[in-house]
Each structure stands twice: as C-alpha cells, then as structure tokens.
A and B are shown apart, each in its own frame.
Chain A
C-alpha cells in the first residue's frame, strides 16, 4: 500500500473501536485512527511515514465480529465498521507472534546494543511474553561490519523491511532489499555485496534509525547504547506528501 497524498474533500465516516464511537477520514486505516485516539495496538513493521506492507501481523484486529483477523495497518475504515483491538484471541495470537520472532533468530537482549531501546523487547513485555514456549532455532546468522559508520547483525533482524522502505521511499537510494526465502530470508545491500562496498548507499543512516531492533546500529556502540531517533521521518514524509 503506497503512501497516499493528502486529498481535499474526503468523506468522513463513523466507526466503533472497542466500544468508542469515532469519526475518521475514509482514506484512513484502522491503525491510524487508533493512534490518533490513543487506542494501543501493537505494531512492528508499520511506521508512520513509510508505505504499508502488513508483514508482521501484530496489529491484527477483529472486524465486525468476523472470524478472519485483519491487519489494522492495511485495512481502511468503513462506515459503520465495528472493530475490536484487544480480545483474548488477539492477545493470544500476538503473544505467539512475538514468541516466534524470538525463537527464530538470536535476540539476546542482555548483550544487545539496543537493550532498553528496542521495540521487540518492549513488545515482548507488552504482549506478556515472559518466556518462549517453542524451541529456539539456534541458527547462526552473519554480522556485516564492513561499513565505516554502521553495522548489520542479521541475528537481530525481524524482517520488518523498514530499512528497505525508508531507503527507497525517503532517501531514494534503494540500497536495501530482500534476498532468499523462509529462514534464509535476509535484508541485503546492493546485490548482496558487503555494506561497506555498496555504491548506492549514501551513509545517511535513516535505515539505522528506523530499525526497531539491534539489527542496524552505529559502529562503536556498546550494550544498551544504541538509542534511535525517528523524528526525522514524520517531518520528511509530511513534506513529500505536499509536493
């Protein structure tokens, strides 16, 4: 779903989220309305200012009591829509999703540069993940420190593709992309060249700032030192949409 330009004369619809009657522009998505109204819906791949991929499924909600869960980030509001954001079933699904992310790669919070500033760590606490019920995969992933300013640790990557999108849509460089399938899937720079050899990378660091975990970090950071700043994104994204 591409970033939409703000259009004049859009209709306003009314909908009900968790028992609250709300109004919204008809071109908004459920997650945008939830964010505006301080209704907490967890998310990971969604980031205001970037296009929508609906990949992580953490923002799933129940719509009109139907059995099929919908991603709040990629579902537009409709007149009369009734949305539930925090049922037992949703909590169970979200918890399992976060546990699977922890089981898939090697997220060792205690020795991670992003400890204390990590969206995955926050999500685990918020979704009630006090342990992981499935066995860990214990697969080994590579670390690329070839870039003079930044580092990518694929052990910490959750494949949210925020780096891919911010590099393409905001910086315009499209250095990042995806390679492989299943457990072998990973983000790559240029055509899977070492990041330090990339000819397209402008070293702007936007990918590092939007990365929710300790996968993309600044060189030279130690445990807990990698604090990210995403303020630039909403400012730049707003300016682009007014072009």
Chain B
C-alpha cells in the first residue's frame, strides 16, 4: 500500500510488442476510476525510473528472451507481493518463442547479416545477450495469476484488476484465452 492507502502497481515489458500495455490503456475512462484505488509506481507508462523495494502488484508483459528480461523478472518477483503474467508472450512464449526450434547463432545470423543490406554486424555493446531458449515468465520465476491473450482484451485486464481491488481471486480463464 502507498501512503494514501492505494494499491501500488508496477509494470514492465520484457520481450513483447507493448500491445498488452496498449490494451491496458484501452481501458480508457475506466483508468480514471482505477486511479482511485491503485498507484502506478513504476511502468513504461509513468516517469519513475526505479522499481521501488516493495510493490503490491507486479504486471509483466513479454517473454524471457535475454539476460535483461531475466534480471527484470527476478527483480519483480523479489519486490512484488503478487505477480501477473500478462499476455501470451508472458504466459506461453508466443511469437518470441517461435525462434526456439532454431539455433541461436542461426537466428542472429539471419537477423543481423542475411537480411541486412548496409553494414551488417552483430551488436555486442549496450545490448543484453540473447538467451538460447525463449521461455514464458513462469519458466524462470513463480507467477500468481496468468492472463493469456494476444493481447488480452481491455475488459479482461479490467476484470482482473477490479477483482483484485475487491480482494477476490480473479479467474481470467472466464474472460480470455490463448490468442484471444
């Protein structure tokens, strides 16, 4: 809880397209009502640059594809009481995981050399190293609530958040599914 009694929420995206965060914004005017109950303390949608030490609810979009994703997921798990896997990339790997049947070197070669016309080179500085295997988030840290969908509909996200605010355990399977 923050000082004003609101539930603190942190979100971030790992290897995803940000579509789940866009779906979050698609809650439109309902965001105003939600803001009476939650405080977004860290997110691509707000200015804060540091994840606070203690957060009530963490929301992760995207899969675990590189070392930074892994670090962020572990940090969120350590600091958030409740952790939500939001969207298919987070829940099942989805499109990012479609590289898994191929060798990592082949994937990098394809992306940074074969399909590049100008000055092809493999980036090594300032970018996190890719992991050999893309994993859903629950493959690396325990997850409390799974919200599948590509992206989950704004109504589904709204349902999950309002149930949590009301102190109930949401059943996202009622309102969303893989590929929804």
- A residues contacting B by CB (< 8 A) are 102, 106-112, 115-116, 121-122, 124-125, 128-133, 135-136, 138-140
A157 CB, nearest partner CB in chain B, Å: 15
Q: Cβ of B44: which chain A residues have Cβ within 8 Å of it?
A: none
Q: Of B22-30, B70-78, B97-105, which binds chain A? A: B97-105
Give A139 to B97 CA distance when docked, in angstroms: 12
Q: Mark B34-67, 1 if CB is under 8 A from A, else 0.
A: 0000000000000000000000000000000000
A115-B179, A121-B179 are known contacts. Are A110 and B94 too (CB-CB below 8 A)? yes
27 contacts between A and B (CB under 8 A): A108-B94, A108-B97, A108-B98, A108-B179, A109-B88, A109-B179, A110-B150, A111-B95, A116-B179, A122-B177, A124-B178, A125-B173, A128-B173, A130-B147, A130-B172, A131-B92, A131-B138, A131-B143, A131-B148, A133-B138, A136-B92, A136-B97, A138-B97, A138-B100, A138-B101, A140-B101, A140-B102
Q: Cβ of B138: which chain A residues have Cβ within 8 Å of it?
A: 131, 133
CB distance B101 to A130 under 8 Å? no
Which 7 pairs, one residue from A and one from B, show the smallest C-beta to C-beta distance?
A: A109-B179, A110-B150, A140-B101, A138-B100, A125-B177, A130-B146, A109-B178
Given contacts A125-B177, A129-B173, 14 further A-B contacts (CB under 8 A): A102-B178, A106-B101, A110-B88, A110-B94, A112-B179, A116-B179, A124-B177, A124-B178, A125-B173, A130-B146, A131-B143, A131-B146, A138-B133, A139-B101
Q: Cβ of B177: which chain A residues have Cβ within 8 Å of it?
A: 109, 121-122, 124-125
Partner of B136 from A109, A110, A115, A131 at Cβ < 8 Å: A131
Q: Cβ of B148: which chain A residues have Cβ within 8 Å of it?
A: 130-131
Whose C-beta in chain A lies nearest to the C-beta of B99? A138
Q: Mark B138-149, 1 if CB is under 8 A from A, else 0.
A: 110001001110
Q: Cβ of B85: which chain A residues have Cβ within 8 Å of it?
A: 131
CB distance B95 to A135 under 8 Å? no
Give A140 to B101 CA distance when docked, in angstroms: 5
Q: Cβ of A124: which chain B residues have Cβ within 8 Å of it?
A: 177-178
B7 within 8 A of partner (CB): no
Partner of B150 from A109, A129, A132 at Cβ < 8 Å: A109
Chain A interface helix/strand/loop/mixed: loop
B91 within 8 A of partner (CB): yes
**Interchain Cβ contacts within 8 Å, total number:** 67
CB distance B179 to A110 under 8 Å? yes
Please indicate which of the listed interface residues A102, A108, A131 has the most CB atoms of chain B within 10 Å of its own CB: A131
Q: Cβ of A109: which chain B residues have Cβ within 8 Å of it?
A: 88, 150, 177-179
Partner of A132 from B92, B143, B173, B179 at Cβ < 8 Å: B92
Give A112 to B180 CA distance when docked, in angstroms: 11
Whose C-beta in chain B lies nearest to the C-beta of A133? B138
Whose C-beta in chain B lies nearest to the C-beta of A103? B92
Q: Cβ of A138: which chain B residues have Cβ within 8 Å of it?
A: 97, 100-101, 133
Q: Cβ of B97: which chain A residues have Cβ within 8 Å of it?
A: 108, 136, 138
A151 CB, nearest partner CB in chain B, Å: 18
Give A139 to B146 CA distance when docked, in angstroms: 25
A108-B94, A109-B88 are known contacts. Are A135 and B172 too (CB-CB below 8 A)? no
Q: Cβ of A129: which chain B residues have Cβ within 8 Å of it?
A: 173, 178
Q: Cβ of B172: which chain A residues have Cβ within 8 Å of it?
A: 130
B11 CB, nearest partner CB in chain A, Å: 19
